[in-house]
Amino acid sequence: MNRQIILVKRPDGLPSEECFKLLEGEIPELKDGEVLVKTMYLSVDPYMRGRMNDGKSYISPFALNEVLTGGVVGEVVESKSDEFAKGDMVMGGFLGWQDYSIAKAGDLIKVENKDLSPGVFLGILGMPGLTAYFGILDVGKPKAGETVVVSGAAGAVGMTAGQIAKIKGCTVIGISGSDKKNEYLVKELGFDNALNYNTGNLRKELKKICPQGVDVYFDNVGGEISDAVMTLINYKARIPICGQISLYNVKRPPVGPRVQVQLLTKSAVMEGFLIFDYKERFGEGMEQLSKWISENKLKYSENIVEGLENAPKAFLGLFAGENLGKQIVKVV
């Protein structure tokens, strides 16, 4: 039997466990060119919140009463493709929240790496790591000596983006929701400083620790945190818009300060980007990220929840700040 997590209700605001249901289904027959993958780890990601809504976006919504899909690392248990053999470890970006998924061979990549845990292909060497790599380097363009601020800094994307900016010789300030996370950013990852957005006056604190202003603001969260950072941007600042998690569950987007005057008077550039924009360059990104990891210049953290049945809980935890680093679910 194949245990599956199904979307049974679209959320109105913050999702709850009632939106999900665990069912048992059959494992369908393989067709030529297909591979049967046994899930070892699955990824829960903030972007999935958007897919729970029934609206048009850059990616199609999850269908009601269907299994949820996302990144999976697993083992090939049966193959009708010449490209994969039984026992291969593979990663697929859109397999199911289920014990077994059928995938077309072209939708999988082999991910053997004896030195690293398999979860890295959902994290630092997967979609979040590549997002950080292209977002900070291609959009943020950090130069040595500049000040870089990263929000959502203790998450999978944020901690990678901040460390890359450090590699490039910048002063890096993280913003997260807890002192414990901030201690990790500074002591373990080498961030220069980190602020807790839940305590104190963020704008005032930032102004104190960024006396030269902000040259790059890597925005993972939006909302009032970003409003505070935007008041401190420098001439020719770059603001990569990676995510807006503080707004994913709001029913009506709040009206904040209008940033156009700030961008105009600072000749600054604010630019949204999606990881899919860089799909032709994923190989380059994975190679460089792997090299930095092997040189001990880049570290990562995984928050692992055990059991397929706990995938909804792990997903909801993203909106409560329960994860330090990449949130993954260990299925077997």
In the chain the first and final C-alpha atoms are separated, in Å, by 15
Residue 45 CB, nearest approach to ligand NAP (Å): 5
Nearer to ligand NAP, 140 or 177 (CB): 177
Nearer to ligand NAP, 46 or 88 (CB): 46
Residue 274 CB, nearest approach to ligand NAP (Å): 4
Spell out the SS3 assignment of the chain: CEEEEEECCCCCCCCCHHHEEEEEECCCCCCCCEEEEEEEEEECCCHHHHHCCCCCCCCCCCCCCCECEEEEEEEEEEECCCCCCCCCEEEEEEEECECEEEEEHHHEEECCCCCCCHHHHHCCCCHHHHHHHHHHHHHHCCCCCCEEEEECCCEHHHHHHHHHHHHCCCEEEEEECCHHHHHHHHHCCCCCEEEECCCCCHHHHHHHHCCCCEEEEEECCCHHHHHHHHCCEEEEEEEEECCCHHHCCCCCCCCCCCCHHHHHHCCCEEEECCHHHHHHHHHHHHHHHHHHHHCCCCCCCEEEEECHHHHHHHHHHHHHCCCCEEEEEECC
Nearer to ligand NAP, 3 or 174 (CB): 174
Residue 29 CB, nearest approach to ligand NAP (Å): 34
Q: What does residue 96 show for φ and ψ, rounded to 5 degrees?
A: -100, 160
Residues across the chain: 332
Residue 288 CB, nearest approach to ligand NAP (Å): 18
Q: Which residues bind ligand NAP (CB under 6 A)?
A: 45-47, 127-128, 131, 152, 154-158, 176-178, 181, 220-221, 225, 242-243, 245-246, 273-275, 318-319, 321, 323, 327
CB 50 within 8 A of CB 59: yes
Residue 63 CB, nearest approach to ligand NAP (Å): 21
Residue 312 CB, nearest approach to ligand NAP (Å): 15
The residue sitting closest to ligand NAP, measured at its beta carbon, is 155
Nearer to ligand NAP, 220 or 262 (CB): 220
Residue 128 CB, nearest approach to ligand NAP (Å): 5
Nearer to ligand NAP, 6 or 242 (CB): 242
Nearer to ligand NAP, 262 or 327 (CB): 327
Distance CA 74, CA 90 (A): 6
Nearer to ligand NAP, 2 or 135 (CB): 135
Residue 240 CB, nearest approach to ligand NAP (Å): 9
Would you give the distance in Å from CA 159 to the centre of its chain?
10
Residue 76 CB, nearest approach to ligand NAP (Å): 26
Nearer to ligand NAP, 127 or 298 (CB): 127
Distance CA 64, CA 230 (A): 39
Nearer to ligand NAP, 142 or 174 (CB): 174
Which residues, including other chains, have CB under 8 Å from residue 291's CB and lie 6 or more apart?
Answer: none
